[in-house]
Amino acid sequence: MEGKGFTEEQEALVVKSWNEMKRNSQELGLKFFKKILEIAPAAQQLFSFLKDSTVPLGENPKLKPHAMAVFVMTCESAVQLRKAGKVTVRESNLKRLGATHFKAGVTAEHFEVTKLALLETIKEAVPEMWSPAMKNAWEEAHDQLAEAIKSEMKPSD
Ligand code: HEM
């Protein structure tokens, strides 16, 4: 899919909800992560900083950066889709992302889980803005980004 027809309106739906949500990013990040682990408890083992961790999830300082990366990059991908009709993450970044996730043992199923968690988290964070159109815009931006990362998920040379 080439992301044809990602409109200004869709971009605006993603950007405006993100601008609202990011004011509470600590709680948002934790909620998002908890949802991922609710759906797929075993995913905890993928994260080096969680595997042998004895601190409660909410106190793990490394949790927020990954959560924020997913939100921020999905939001950026919405902007790119509207501007260029496709995700335009820098080649070297995409290669690194592909390699990191490949090495960590992340699968296509994990991306589905993460997407569900992402959409649920947004719905609960901005209930007054939430709509089918907003869901659709975030989903499209996520899917295109996930496809780009997955296409680089192979052993690094
Ligand atoms: C690492 C972004 C999906 C698990 C990272 C990093 C970024 C990132 C920026 C830091 C390392 C690097 O830059 O190479 C994203 C984005 C995603 C996504 C934008 C989806 C759109 C997932 C999914 C999983 C996952 C679905 C599995 C449930 C991990 C793990 C690491 C990682 C295990 C390594 C962390 C560590 O052990 O230190 N991701 N990620 N990611 N990601 Fe993701």
So what's the ipTM on this one? 0.97
The 3-state DSSP class for residue 18 equals: helix
User: Does the structure show a pLDDT above 80 at 69?
Assistant: yes
Which residue's CA lies nearest to atom 30 of ligand 1?
47
Q: Is the CB of 97 under 6 A from ligand 1?
A: yes
18-23: average pLDDT: 96
Considering only residues 117 and 54, tell me which one the structure prediction assigns the higher pLDDT.
Answer: 117
Q: Is the CB of 6 under 6 A from ligand 1?
A: no
Q: What percent of the chain has pLDDT over 90?
A: 79
Instruction: Classify domain 8-49+59-151 by CATH number.
Output: 1.10.490.10
Q: Is the CB of 46 under 6 A from ligand 1?
A: yes
